[in-house]
Amino acid sequence: MVISRLKHLAMVLENVKPHPNPSLDLEQYSLCGEDAARILWFAGRIHDDINDKIVLDLGCGTGILSIGSILLGAKFVFGVDIDSKALEVALDNAKNLNVYSRVSFLCAEVSKLPMIRIVDTVIQNPPFGVHKRGADIMFLEASMKIARVVYSLHKYTVENNLFISRVVSKLGGRIVGMLPLTITIPHIFDFHREFKRKVNVILYRIVHV
């Protein structure tokens, strides 16, 4: 089944279970169904980078972007994460939503992946680099060696936007599209004081020059 409506995709993705014990060091903030759907819609419907494509979801967590990519018609999806517990939940999610046959999950460090261009599109929601400086850049460095088209989500500030642009240029890429979003982060860590927090982010569409 290929989903043809954004609202339907968001409703289905709300059934994806989050991490039961997220790590602050890994910045394991789960996307809600609506936010994930908007990200995937931009990549798969505004741009034609998912349907009938091989997609790699770096830092896949419990699989919401992997599963959503399949629901938008991806030929096959590889999900990679360093956390084996997250991947166990991702596998359960894929089975529960009947997309198990078109996804494979791998436990690995992003920086140690073989840099072979076997996929068409990378979609990633990397750590923002708040708790581990440079974590987001590590994802950019890896993803841009793996695929011609990369969708990467980053926290928005004017300074960070300029910084990401410079990094992409140095890595031989070009930002050809941006989707500003305000995502919802639930209360998951003890220091969170709000039930839900809104965070301004940008989804970058990056291609090689």
Specify the CATH superfamily of domain 6-208: Vaccinia Virus protein VP39 (3.40.50.150)
Domain extents in the chain: 6-208
Q: How far apart are CA 202 and CA 198, in angstroms?
A: 13
Instruction: Let me know: does 170 contact 208? Beta carbons within 8 Å.
Output: no
Listed in order, strand segments (DSSP E) in 74-190 are 76-81, 103-107, 121-124, 149-155, 173-186
pLDDT in tens, 155-195: 999 999 999 999 999 999 999 999 999 998 876 555 445 55
Instruction: Let me know: does 59 contact 40? Beta carbons within 8 Å.
Output: no
Rounded average pLDDT over 19-34? 81
Q: Which of 53-67, 93-107, 117-131, 153-167 has the lowest mean pLDDT?
A: 117-131
Give the SS3 label for residue 3.
coil
pLDDT in tens, 129-139: 565 676 789 99
